[in-house]
Amino acid sequence: MADLIWSPRAIRDLDEICDYIANDSEKYAAIFAQRLVSLVERTPDHPFAGSIVPEYDDPNLRERFLHSYRIIYRVRGDTIELVTICHGARLLDSGLEG
């Protein structure tokens, strides 16, 4: 099984998303965070189960979805790096190359 690393950006993204959801419901923000962390923690078991990020067409840059959110991660040998979490309606910026 691969090691999992959260980038500072991914941690910040999750905090900001949960703060936004908490404006309406702290309960649903906590549920969202729990589900996202659970999904991310299972990723090292099957790192190539996620889809290739279409904007980059890099087989090592993958994504999974939770509701409307894209969870972008990079496979690097025995390491999975959680790169960013963003709403599916937003465009990815160009800073994801590895």
Distance CA(85)–CA(63), nearest Å, equals 9
Among residues 45, 47, 38, 49, the alpha carbon closest in space to that of 76 is found at 47
DSSP label of 62: E
What domains can be seen in the chain, in order of their start residue? 13-80 (3.30.2310.20)
* 92 DSSP assignment: P
- pLDDT per position in the chain (98 positions), as tens? 789 999 999 999 999 999 999 999 999 999 999 999 999 999 999 999 999 999 898 999 999 999 999 999 999 999 999 999 999 888 777 666 55
Q: Percent helix, strand, coil in the chain (nearest 5)? A: 35, 30, 35
